[in-house]
């Protein structure tokens, strides 16, 4: 087994199994090809393997200097140090105590290495598709205005071996999967309009798993979401929640120390949910109902939108027009105009680069976008 396997997470072990099917003489560094064999299949694969692991799990690629001036690469991720290609050294003990962090751009200056990395990536994806967690059997959809749910969805999707998909792009076609995960923020102890619309439109016989990100007050949100999905005919297998940073902050500011604490825990929380999904757990809220108030609120959100306005700071860049999931904003000669379809996501409010959108007379300066996410990925 590989170095560090006793400390490595389940997803690292799954990756190792998938690499077993992906490593080949073609992905081996040319100078090691003569000694490569299916029994010694980790030889000549270390750096491209370690960078692929980093693509999937994040963390660091580290290197031990070797006698020939090169580095043997391995990973630090998921809270552990492990070396998926250590077996090539047989009984020889490497010293992992003083590694040097590796720079992918330096490694990939070598065109042959980059080509082998791309080939290994393709083979790894194929291997992940035919065994283990995903296999095209899972789909992960999300709605997100300020990145928390995007982060959770991406993290869960990675564990399931798929890409997270923005639910507003769903075209109403049949979703032929075994498991559909829907990641959404909680709005007023219920679901946002786009998530509800998606749930009503979704055509699938799959087990559905709802994952709710929220800022601090769940109340009946899990029961409400479960009821909503069941009424739409979905087969709800589990409902989870992930505490995230509050974004309904038109009246207050989230203290920085508290925000950092929540952000620090979000990856573990998302991973724990992903592990439970992978384990096939069935867990739905016992309590029924919890929907009346959230539905009433949802119906009146356009009134909240009526309180949004742009200030003189607006430079008419048009970003808010693109950000809005409800096509509720238009550019005007002096700034922007809000129409009557607001769903209160606050995406425009938080993401305007000039902080030029205000809510009523409130002058709060706090704006938020999850620093663990890239906003360009919301609509990708
Ligand atoms: C209109 C609105 C209502 C919200 N209501 C709740 C709520 O009832 N309980 C709660 O804990 N968080 C609530 N939040 C906070 C969000 O659920 C939370 O910040 C979420 O993680 C944001 O997800 P996103 O970053 O993916 O958009 C609300 C946010 C908005 C914009
Ligand atoms: S994003 Fe801000 S600056 Fe840009 S058009 Fe909208 S309100 Fe104006
Ligand atoms: S106007 Fe702003 S708050 Fe309303 S739906 Fe559009 S982006 Fe969200």
Q: For position 327, which CATH number holds? A: 3.30.70.20
Q: How far apart are CA 9 and CA 308, in angstroms?
A: 46
Residues 243 and 143 in one domain: yes
| 3-state secondary structure (DSSP) of residue 183 | strand
* Atom of ligand 1 lying closest to residue 190 CA: 8
Degrees (nearest 5) of the Cα angle 57, 146, 313? 135
Residue 243 lies in domain: 138-291
Strand partners, 181: 140, 209
Residue 5 belongs to a domain: no
DSSP code, position 184:
E
Q: Answer yes or no: are the C-beta atoms of 77 and 53 closer than 8 Å.
A: yes
Q: How far apart are CA 223 and CA 283, in angstroms?
A: 11
Measured from the Cα of 319, ligand 2's closest atom is: 1
Q: Are residues 146 and 246 in the same domain?
A: yes
Q: Count of domains in the chain?
A: 3
Tokens 């031990």 label which residue?
64
Q: Give Cβ neighbours of residue 272 (< 8 Å, ≥ 6 apart).
A: none
15 with 92, same domain: the answer is yes
Indicate whether 263 and 175 sit together in one domain: yes
* Coil, strand or helix at 242: strand
Asked whether residue 2 is domain-assigned, the answer is no
pLDDT number for residue 132: 47
Would you say how long the chain is, in residues? 380
Q: Is residue 148 part of a domain?
A: yes
- Asked whether the CA dihedral 64, 67, 71, 74 is positive or negative, the reply is negative
Q: Is residue 3 part of a domain?
A: no
- Domain contains 31: yes
Atom of ligand 3 nearest to the CA of 305: 4
- Integer Cα distance of 223 and 218 in angstroms: 10
Residues with Cβ within 8 Å of 299's Cβ and at least 6 positions away in sequence, in order, are: none
Q: How far is the CA of 328 from the centre of ligand 3 (A)?
A: 6
Asked whether residue 192 falls in the same domain as residue 248, the answer is yes
Whether residue 280 sits in one domain with residue 204: yes
Which atom of ligand 2 has the smallest separation from the CA of 351? Answer: 1
User: Last residue of a domain, which of 241, 257, 291?
Assistant: 291
Q: What is the predicted pLDDT for the residue at 137?
A: 82
Q: What is the DSSP letter of 216?
A: S
**Domain assignment present for 4:** no
Q: Do residues 92 and 227 share a domain?
A: no
Using the structure block, give the residue that is written with the tokens 């606050």.
346
Short-list 179, 180, 200, CA closest to 191: 200
Measured CA to CA in angstroms, residue 361 lies from 154, 251, 347, 358 at distances of: 36, 10, 18, 7
Chunk the chain into consecutive blocks of 10 residues (it has 380) and report each block's average pLDDT, rounded to whole numbers.
Answer: 91 91 95 93 97 91 93 93 95 92 95 96 82 66 98 93 93 92 96 96 96 94 94 96 96 94 96 90 80 80 90 96 96 93 96 96 92 91
Same domain, 112 and 191: no
| Contact residues of ligand 3, CB 6 A cut-off | 305, 308, 323-326, 328-329, 338, 342-348
**Cross-strand bridge partners of residue 243:** 214
* 359 inside domain: yes
37: helix, strand or coil: strand
CB of 137 closer than 8 Å to CB of 129? no
| 3-state DSSP percent of the chain in helix, strand and coil, to 5 | 40, 20, 45
46 & 145 share domain: no
Q: Which ligand is nearest to the CA of 214?
A: 1
Same domain for 163 and 44: no
Nearest ligand to the CA atom of 144: 1
Among 240, 267, 291, residue at a domain's last position: 291
Looking at the structure, do residues 354 and 262 belong to the same domain, yes or no? no
Q: How far, in Å, from the CA of 346 to the mean position of ligand 3?
A: 5
> What is the predicted pLDDT for the residue at 295?
82
- 342: in domain: yes
Residues 223 and 265 placed together within one structural domain of the fold: yes
CA distances from 89 to 27, 71, 86, 155, 209 (A): 18, 14, 6, 33, 43
61, 108 in Cβ contact below 8 A? Answer: no
Whichever domain contains 158, its CATH number is 3.40.50.360
Is 153:164 a contact under the CB 8 Å cutoff? yes
Q: Which residues, 6 or more positions from 34, have their beta carbon under 8 angstroms from its beta carbon?
A: none
Last residue in a domain, options 291, 325, 360: 291
User: Is the CB of residue 141 less than 8 Å from the CB of residue 198?
Assistant: yes
Using the mean position of ligand 1's atoms as its centre, give its distance from the Cα of residue 324 in Å.
16
Q: What is the crossing angle of helices 46-57 and 10-22, to 10°?
A: 140
Pocket of ligand 2 contains residue 320 by CB under 6 Å? yes
Ligand 2 atom at minimum distance from 316 CA: 5
Pocket of ligand 2 contains residue 318 by CB under 6 Å: yes
Distances (CA, A) of 267 to 87, 141, 145, 251, 324: 30, 18, 18, 27, 27
């Amino acid at each position: 087994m590989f170095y560090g396997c006793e400390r490595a997470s389940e997803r690292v072990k799954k990756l190792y199994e998938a690499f077993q099917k992906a490593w080949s003489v073609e992905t081996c560094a040319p100078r090691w090809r003569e000694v490569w064999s299916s029994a010694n299949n980790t030889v000549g694969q270390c750096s491209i393997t370690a960078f692929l692991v980093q693509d999937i799990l994040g963390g660091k690629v580290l290197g031990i200097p070797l006698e020939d001036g090169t580095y043997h690469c391995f990973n630090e991720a998921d809270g552990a140090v492990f070396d998926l290609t250590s077996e090539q050294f047989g009984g020889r003990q490497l010293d992992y105590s003083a590694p040097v962090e590796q720079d992918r751009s330096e490694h990939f200056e070598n065109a042959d290495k980059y080509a082998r990395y791309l080939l290994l990536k393709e083979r790894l994806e194929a291997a992940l598709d035919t065994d283990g967690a995903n296999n095209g059997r899972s789909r992960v959809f999300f709605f997100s205005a300020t990145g928390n749910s995007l982060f959770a969805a991406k993290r869960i999707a990675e564990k399931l071996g798929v890409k997270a998909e923005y639910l507003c792009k769903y075209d109403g076609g049949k979703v032929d999967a075994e498991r559909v995960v829907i990641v959404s923020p909680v709005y007023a102890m219920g679901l946002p309009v786009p998530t509800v619309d998606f749930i009503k439109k979704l055509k699938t016989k799959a087990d559905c798993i709802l994952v709710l990100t929220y800022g601090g007050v769940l109340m009946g949100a899990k029961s409400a979401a479960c009821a909503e999905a069941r009424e739409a005919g979905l087969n709800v297998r589990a409902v989870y929640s992930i505490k995230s940073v509050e974004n309904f902050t038109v009246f207050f500011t989230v203290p920085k120390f508290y925000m950092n604490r929540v952000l620090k825990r979000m990856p573990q929380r998302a991973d724990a949910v992903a592990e439970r999904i992978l384990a096939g757990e069935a867990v739905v809220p016992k309590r029924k109902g919890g929907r009346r108030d959230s539905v009433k609120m949802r119906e009146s959100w356009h009134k909240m939108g009526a309180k949004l306005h742009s200030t003189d700071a607006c430079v008419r860049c048009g970003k808010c027009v693109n950000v809005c999931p409800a096509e509720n904003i238009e550019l005007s000669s002096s700034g922007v105009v809000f129409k009557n379809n607001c769903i209160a996501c606050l995406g425009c409010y938080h993401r305007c680069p000039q902080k030029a959108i205000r809510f009523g007379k409130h002058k709060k300066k706090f704006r938020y976008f999850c620093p663990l996410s890239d906003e360009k990925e919301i609509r990708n």
